């Protein structure tokens, strides 16, 4: 929940991604139109499963399409933690987005307690299989983002080996591109992104500064 329309326009006027890097911008709802004006590929941070109806405060896939938005994140760890998102509702959101021709970045990941108790594989399997039952996994607009919840906004980061292990496990369940999200910074981006099973990054706090975000994009080459 950063950057209103004016800040978004200023950010994107300054931002110049390196050649050969696919970049998606995911601002808050109020800044989507401003981001679309820039010509960059824009995704929303969430999307509802219904096309319309009595869902005050929600935004539908057709509404996003009308703005020129190309896709949406679903199931982000903060949505799960603070707003009671479940595997089932995330899957419904992903399905609705696909049905309306939108791309999807579907987030999965385990908590620190789950990792330390040896349940990482089980948690990821349940989350990924819920998505697999609801979406067309072969759709080129569908990707998964692995977010170790213990590394979101904490400054902690999975080691490259931990990221590789989790990404390889996910790809063994569903053959789709997998992004890493969890305190990605310019200092660690190159090492994380060099892992064979890591196909890109879902960047959070480090994307708020133009220089920082540009450096991460450059590392992805």
Which sequence positions are flagged as catalytic? 76, 147
How far apart are alpha carbons 72 and 118 in whole angstroms?
Answer: 31
CB atoms within 10 A of CB 122: 12
Return the DSSP state at 179: E
Q: What is the DSSP string of 82-139?
A: HH---HHHHHHHHHHHHHTT-EEEEEE---HHHHHTT-HHHHHHHHHHHHHTTS-TT-
Outline where 20-107 has alpha helix (H). 32-37, 61-67, 77-83, 87-99
How far apart are alpha carbons 20 and 126 in whole angstroms?
Answer: 34
Contact call for residues 62 and 100 (beta carbons, < 8 A): yes
- The closest of 219, 209, 201, 220 to 15, measured between CA atoms, is 209
State both tokens at 185: 């910074």
b/e burial code for range 24-58 (CB count within 10 A of at least 16 → b):
bbbbbbebbebbbeeeebbbbbbbbbeeeeeeeeb
């Amino acid at each position: 929940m950063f950057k209103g329309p004016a800040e978004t326009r200023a950010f994107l006027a300054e931002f110049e991604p390196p050649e050969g890097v696919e970049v998606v911008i995911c601002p808050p709802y109020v800044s989507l139109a401003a981001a679309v004006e820039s010509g960059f590929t824009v995704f929303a941070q969430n999307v509802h499963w219904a096309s319309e109806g009595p869902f005050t405060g929600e935004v539908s896939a057709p509404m996003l399409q009308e703005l020129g938005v190309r896709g949406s994140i679903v199931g982000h760890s903060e949505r799960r933690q603070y707003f009671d998102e479940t595997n089932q509702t995330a899957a419904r959101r992903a399905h609705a987005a696909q049905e309306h021709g939108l791309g999807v970045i579907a987030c999965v990941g385990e908590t620190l307690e789950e990792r330390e108790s040896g349940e990482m594989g089980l948690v990821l399997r349940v989350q990924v299989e819920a998505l697999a039952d609801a979406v067309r996994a072969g759709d080129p607009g569908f990707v998964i983002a692995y977010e170790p919840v213990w590394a979101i906004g904490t400054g902690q980061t999975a080691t490259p080996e931990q990221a590789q292990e989790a990404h390889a496990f996910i790809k063994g369940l569903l053959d789709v591109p997998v992004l890493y999200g969890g305190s990605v910074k310019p200092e660690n981006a190159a090492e994380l992104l060099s892992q064979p099973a890591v196909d890109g990054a879902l960047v959070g706090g480090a994307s708020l500064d133009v220089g920082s975000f540009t450096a991460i994009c450059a590392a992805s080459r």
